[in-house]
């Protein structure tokens, strides 16, 4: 497996510290005609150094970005997708607030970006690499795309960031919220 998912560095850290097990994504301009989807069952978290992250996340404005060495990429975390869902109801998207680090206005911006309205969520199990994996940065990792192919990884030992009980408890809470907020299907008469 050498696929990576590009995500803001602070979101990668939130996932890697067990603060969240949810990834929200709408997709970027390079997602193609079919748009974004979580197309890989597992992937490395590729931290991007978008400098305005603190303005768009629920963190103090003076929160520093994780350390980064120019010309290098360091991978610290890997994620396995347990399930995904396309949320097409704005109320439901906003109700997810406790499960992710994005500010409300960012969720709304992503929800309404392009048509159809909605946002993809993935419930993931995150693992920390016992030894971070560093390799040279390259042009193929740039651009507004969600997925990139990395070099072949070294032998890696993965450590779950959350214990099984905590992870399952988050899933139960998330599913309960989704069942409460997703509007029932209506049948036209």
Determine the pLDDT at residue 74.
Answer: 95
135: phi then psi, degrees, rounded to nearest 5: -150, 165
Specify the length of the chain in residues: 189
For 52, the token pair is 């305005």
- Distance (Å) of CA 22 to CA 36, 85, 96: 16, 11, 9
Say whether 17 sits in a helix, a strand or coil.
coil
Query: Residue 106: enclosing H or E segment and its boundaries?
Result: helix 104-112
**Domain assignments of the chain as residue spans, ordered by start:** 3-181
What pLDDT shows up at residue 126? 98
pLDDT in tens, 4-43: 999 999 999 999 999 999 999 886 555 555 667 788 999 9
Computed from CA positions of residues 160, 166, 171, 177, in that sequence, does the dihedral angle turn out positive or negative?
A: negative
- pLDDT of 125 reads 97
Q: Dump pLDDT digits (tens) for 49-59.
A: 876 788 889 98
pLDDT < 50 stretches in the chain: 185-189
Give pLDDT, residue 51: 66
Q: What is the secondary structure of 28-95 as a DSSP string?
A: -TTS-TT------SEEEEEEE--TTHHHHBSS-TTPPPPP--TTEEEEEEEEEEEEEEEE--HHHHHH
Supply the pLDDT for residue 59.
87
Give which of 92, 126, 8 is closest to 58, Cα–Cα: 8
Residues 156, 133 contacting (CB under 8 angstroms): yes
């Amino acid at each position: 497996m050498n696929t990576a998912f590009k995500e803001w560095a602070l979101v990668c850290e939130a996932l890697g510290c067990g603060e969240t097990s949810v990834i929200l994504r709408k997709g970027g301009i390079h997602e193609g005609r079919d748009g974004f989807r979580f197309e890989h069952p597992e992937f490395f978290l590729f931290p991007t150094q978008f400098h305005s992250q603190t303005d768009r996340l629920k963190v103090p404005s003076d929160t520093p970005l994780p350390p980064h060495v120019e010309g290098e990429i360091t991978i610290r975390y890997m994620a396995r997708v347990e399930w995904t869902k396309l949320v097409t109801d704005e109320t439901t998207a906003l109700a997810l607030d406790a499960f992710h680090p994005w500010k409300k206005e960012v969720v709304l911006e992503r929800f309404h970006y392009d048509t159809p309205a909605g946002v993809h969520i993935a419930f993931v199990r995150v693992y920390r690499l016992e030894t971070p994996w560093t390799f040279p940065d390259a042009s193929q990792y740039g651009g507004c795309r969600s997925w990139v192919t990395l070099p072949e990884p070294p032998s890696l030992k993965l450590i779950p960031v959350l214990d099984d009980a905590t992870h399952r408890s988050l899933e139960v809470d998330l599913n309960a919220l989704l069942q409460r907020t997703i509007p029932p299907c209506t049948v036209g008469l």
